[in-house]
Amino acid sequence: MIKSLLAAMSLVAAAGAALADCAETRADLRGDWGTARFTIEVADEPEEVQRGLMFRESMPANAGMLFIYDRPQLVGFWMKNTLIPLDMVFVGSDGVVRKVHANAIPGDETTIIGGRDIQFVLEINGGMASMLGIGPGTELRHPRIDQAQAAWACEGQ
């Protein structure tokens, strides 16, 4: 627990030091709790979305996967063949978090519905959203969010 808390604190500190730009391989989040930066893989092709984080035995504390859909839609996930607990952060087209499903159970095939207006889903290690304070209203910054409607736009774009 202490190790996880220290990792979360360093994640927030590192993000606060360098949030000047956007990159395809990063997801920045901010809220009244502060900021955090995750190194991410992007899943935007059907086969990438279908596989997700299946069969992985671990993931670094500051890592995740960002699922990107062409348009806002009803989104549902499950944990089939997923070996690690995950937090699923469901985000609208404006980059604002609509819902967080905490600690999805590895291997569980129950569908987890994120909502009808979801365009992005960020999966991070289970428990991380709660540790950092990520919840509805948190803003996600990424270059694939339409910058004209982004709640937190990338600088210079």
Rounded to whole angstroms, the Cα distance separating 41 from 26 reads: 8
Q: What is the pLDDT of residues 22-73, one digit of tens each?
A: 999 999 999 999 999 999 999 999 999 999 999 999 999 999 999 999 999 9
Contacts of 147 (CB under 8 A, 6+ apart): 153, 154, 157
Q: Above 50 in pLDDT, residue 152?
A: yes
Model confidence at 156: pLDDT above 80: no
Q: What pTM, to 2 d.p., does this model score? A: 0.88
Residue range 107-141, pLDDT digits in tens: 999 999 999 999 999 999 999 999 999 999 999 99
Does the pLDDT at position 97 exceed 90?
yes
Spatial neighbors of 9 by CB under 8 A, at least 6 apart, are: none
In angstroms and rounded to an integer, the radius of gyration of the C-alpha atoms of the chain is 14
- What percent of the chain stands above pLDDT 90? 85
| pLDDT value, residue 13 | 47
Report yes or no: 27 and 139 within 8 Å, Cβ to Cβ: no
The total number of residues shown for the chain amounts to: 157
Name, in order, each residue with C-beta under 8 angstroms of 148's C-beta and a sequence gap of 6 or more: none
Q: In CATH, which of 2.60.120.1140, 3.10.50.30, 3.30.300.30, 3.40.50.1110 is domain 2-141? A: 2.60.120.1140
Question: Has residue 17 got a pLDDT over 80?
Answer: no
